[in-house]
Chains A and B, each alone.
Chain A
Amino acid sequence: MKTIIINARVYQDGKLVKRELLLDGKKISKIAEHITDKADKTIDAAGAAVFPGFIDLHAHLRDPGHTYKEDIVTGTKSAAKGGFTAVCAMPNTEPVADNIASVEYIQLRAKEHGSAKVYVIGALTKQSKGEEISEMATMKSGGIVAVSDDGKCVQNARLMLSCLRYAANFDIPVIVHPEDYALAGKGQIHSGKIATKIGLSGIPGLAEEVMIARDIMLAESAGAKLHIAHISTARSLELVRQAKERGLPVTCEVTPHHLVLNEEACETFDTNTKMKPPLRSEKDRLACIAALKDGLIDCIATDHAPHADFEKEREFDHAPFGIIGFETAFAVLYENLVLTKMISLETLVDNLSQNPARILNLPGGVLKPGAAADLTIIDLKGSTTFDKDSILSKSKNSPWLDKTVKTRVKFTFMNGKITYQDN
């Protein structure tokens, strides 16, 4: 099967250039100004841009165990609609992905029924209980790309050091969601002026910062590769900057919501503004944007965290943390950061494609002949409304629910096959 994409502007080396693309089977076979090869299918991408398929290092597909929120089929469909061709699945499923059988289940389901490539992140500790090291070396041989206990941050520093040493032993990157439980307490939103105003208990930036400081020191001692998930405060970024200046293999990611929203979004008690880490102060948000621009932040990851309506439709204190993110990521960032000239299109696209690929050594992220035909075609002049009927995720917990934003994904291809098509 050969597909030719004509009249497109193709993202190459940070720029959109007028090119045609030939997809042959699973691969991109040619990118040229004019392609004369015969193809089975021609896609006229007039007015649209072709980007490398986006890669998400941080997502919750909820499968197995919580498939009323999301499953591998709906999760990857949602990813494809957002322009993603590969996502990394966090292990907090039921059972926890802390063993080779669970890893293989996810890989098999994704391979057979998925609309995106799914890379599995194994648990750092057994059942993510923070008590014993998981069989991460066995899981690595089964294909995991990293280990993490994500939201179940290991509080015991001695065990964490041991996990990092063990991971370093087998060259497995460790992803941490830095949170000191005692400092975070029963906090609901950022400990700042909005928490003071509306009386929700606060999660101080310190809860994240002291844990980042600890984990950088432990990872340095262990010689481990550390990736910090969804960084959210200016002080946290300072800690990462220092680590990088010392030459440590420390990387970090930021979510679209921490780049676009701040604590003020919580003032209406909308439970779709409740996530961890919480939406921070405007100062923190601007620091994240600056760090994304200057490369201190290594990539953007969604932290796609589906929850059912009945779970979010509750008192703020009782609603679960987290929001969905695949379908909104590119669009809200393009509208809020690129169109406002706060970051370049290049910064946005690279941080959604080649940068995440580089962090976990994943294939893809660049459009070039010979690479897998993982790409997305986006009409930058179009618009998308995120209403409950059009969101493909099983869950609809988004702060952008019912909002209309610029850009519209027209097609997504994974391994040369259409995984999403706008109708």
Chain B
Amino acid sequence: MNPQFLGRNVYDLDDYSRDEIMYILEATKGMKEINTREYKKIPTLRGKTVCTLFVENSTRTRMSFELAANRLSADVVSFQASVSALQKGESLQDTVYTLNAMGIDLYCIRHSSPGSPQLVHKYSQKPVINGGDGRHAHPTQALLDIYSIWEKLGDLNGLKITIVGDILHSRVVRSNLIGMAKLGAKVTVCGPKTMMPSNMESVYGCRVEYDLGRALSGADVVMGLRMQLERMSEGLFPSLEEYSKHYVLSKDTLKYAKPNALIMHPGPMNRGVEILPEIADSKHSVIVEQVANGVAVRMALMFLILGGKA
């Protein structure tokens, strides 16, 4: 048990130091080993109750959190907005009061509104792991991304990482920018100007490029982001075809990156839009491993926050 992590919230990575992130990565490594066993379960969180409170649809992330809790032997309850009182107009405050009365020890929340994890903690006084709040943050995704890089390439210090796509709407990018910067990586973000937030350089210390070739130049790691079709009706880009022409990750465009550049994507992918199968399924792609690492990272966080015994 490391008292440094006990009862901590994970709203985003800015609350965590470089050393703490490294500690989480080491813990994740241990958890990953458990996930390769025949019996993928340890009794460390027996008697603890984890609630996945998902006020925005997500199957993968919720499953990942629930598997993580199960494998540590915690009890898991799942609250989904679609079938819940929230749709009948109950406030988040009342929902959390109700859940809390049932004895929850840790909340994993996803919500479309930034700052909601902080509210869940305020109402519950229990630790909260942010599973994605609007465009704001997705720290467990960033940790699993960082873990995936660290596992393959070692120390992130000095690595050139390029993230391509709809930067404006991406919580994955924001959390990654914070975490990767703490570990010394040099991050470039790239996408159409209509989907690039203002002040990126001054807020995150990253480089902004609108040209894919320049953005990929010399990259050690390349991450694509999902392009949502609805951005078209919002007037942010004209067509998937035109987007793809300028921003797709393909053999052709990746010639600018380092030859062995690691390929990543947080999923779900639009094959043929932001990434071609030749890249997504290439030997340098860790896209599937990212999913496996996600379970391990979430196990590590739950273990550390709830004070599991090793």
A interface with B by C-beta (< 8 Å): 191-193, 195-202, 268-269, 310, 313-318
Bound complex: CA of A198 vs CA of B115, how far in Å?
Answer: 8
7 A-B pairs, CB-CB below 8 angstroms? A198-B115, A198-B136, A199-B137, A269-B114, A315-B92, A316-B113, A316-B115
Are A317 and B112 in contact, CB atoms less than 8 angstroms apart? yes
Are B202 and A318 in contact, CB atoms less than 8 angstroms apart? no
1/0 per residue, CB under 8 A from A, across B107-127: the answer is 000011111101100000000
Query: What is the minimal beta-carbon distance from A264 to any residue of chain B, in angstroms?
Result: 12
Stretch at the interface among B192-200, B222-230, B274-282: B192-200
Are A199 and B136 in contact, CB atoms less than 8 angstroms apart? yes
Are A315 and B137 in contact, CB atoms less than 8 angstroms apart? no
Bound complex: CA of A197 vs CA of B206, how far in Å?
Answer: 13
A-B contact count (CB 8 A): 61
Q: Which residues of A are found within 8 Å of B134, using beta-carbon distances?
A: 199-200, 317
Bound complex: CA of A63 vs CA of B292, how far in Å?
Answer: 58
Once A193-B199, A269-B118 are accepted as A-B contacts, the answer to whether A199 and B174 lie under 8 Å apart by CB is: yes
Bound complex: CA of A193 vs CA of B197, how far in Å?
Answer: 9
Are B114 and A316 in contact, CB atoms less than 8 angstroms apart? yes
Q: Which residues of B are found within 8 Å of A268, using beta-carbon distances?
A: 118
B133 within 8 A of A: yes
Are A196 and B198 in contact, CB atoms less than 8 angstroms apart? yes
Residue of chain A at shortest CB distance from B111: A315
Query: What is the minimal beta-carbon distance from A322 to any residue of chain B, in angstroms?
Result: 18
B57 within 8 A of A: no
Are B91 and A199 in contact, CB atoms less than 8 angstroms apart? no
Query: What is the minimal beta-carbon distance from A144 to any residue of chain B, in angstroms?
Result: 37
Q: Interface size of B by Cβ–Cβ distance < 8 Å?
A: 24
Are B114 and A193 in contact, CB atoms less than 8 angstroms apart? no
Once A198-B136, A314-B91, A317-B134 are accepted as A-B contacts, the answer to whether A193 and B115 lie under 8 Å apart by CB is: no
Are A200 and B198 in contact, CB atoms less than 8 angstroms apart? no
Are A195 and B197 in contact, CB atoms less than 8 angstroms apart? yes
Q: Which residues of A are found within 8 Å of B113, using beta-carbon distances?
A: 315-318
Query: What is the minimal beta-carbon distance from A202 to any residue of chain B, in angstroms?
Result: 8
Residue of chain B at shortest CB distance from A204: B198
Are A197 and B203 in contact, CB atoms less than 8 angstroms apart? yes
Q: Which residues of A are found within 8 Å of B174, using beta-carbon distances?
A: 197, 199
Given contacts A199-B174, A269-B115, A314-B91, list 19 more A-B pairs with CB under 8 A: A192-B198, A193-B199, A193-B203, A198-B115, A199-B114, A199-B134, A199-B136, A200-B115, A200-B135, A268-B118, A310-B93, A314-B92, A314-B93, A315-B92, A315-B111, A315-B113, A317-B113, A317-B134, A318-B113
Q: Which residues of A are found within 8 Å of B186, using beta-carbon distances?
A: none
Residue of chain B at shortest CB distance from A281: B199
Cβ-closest 5 pairs across A and B: A269-B115, A199-B136, A199-B135, A315-B113, A317-B113
Are B203 and A317 in contact, CB atoms less than 8 angstroms apart? no
Q: Which residues of A are found within 8 Å of B200, using beta-carbon distances?
A: 196
B171 within 8 A of A: yes
Once A269-B114, A317-B114 are accepted as A-B contacts, the answer to whether A196 and B199 lie under 8 Å apart by CB is: yes
Bound complex: CA of A237 vs CA of B198, how far in Å?
Answer: 22
Are A193 and B133 in contact, CB atoms less than 8 angstroms apart? no
The residue among B93, B112, B134 with the most chain A CB atoms within 10 A of its own CB is B134
Bound complex: CA of A197 vs CA of B133, how far in Å?
Answer: 13
Q: Which residues of A are found within 8 Å of B133, using beta-carbon distances?
A: 199
Query: What is the minimal beta-carbon distance from B279 to any residue of chain A, in angstroms?
Result: 28
Bound complex: CA of A310 vs CA of B123, how far in Å?
Answer: 13
Bound complex: CA of A310 vs CA of B111, how far in Å?
Answer: 19
Q: Which residues of B are found within 8 Å of A315, using beta-carbon distances?
A: 92, 111, 113, 115-116, 119
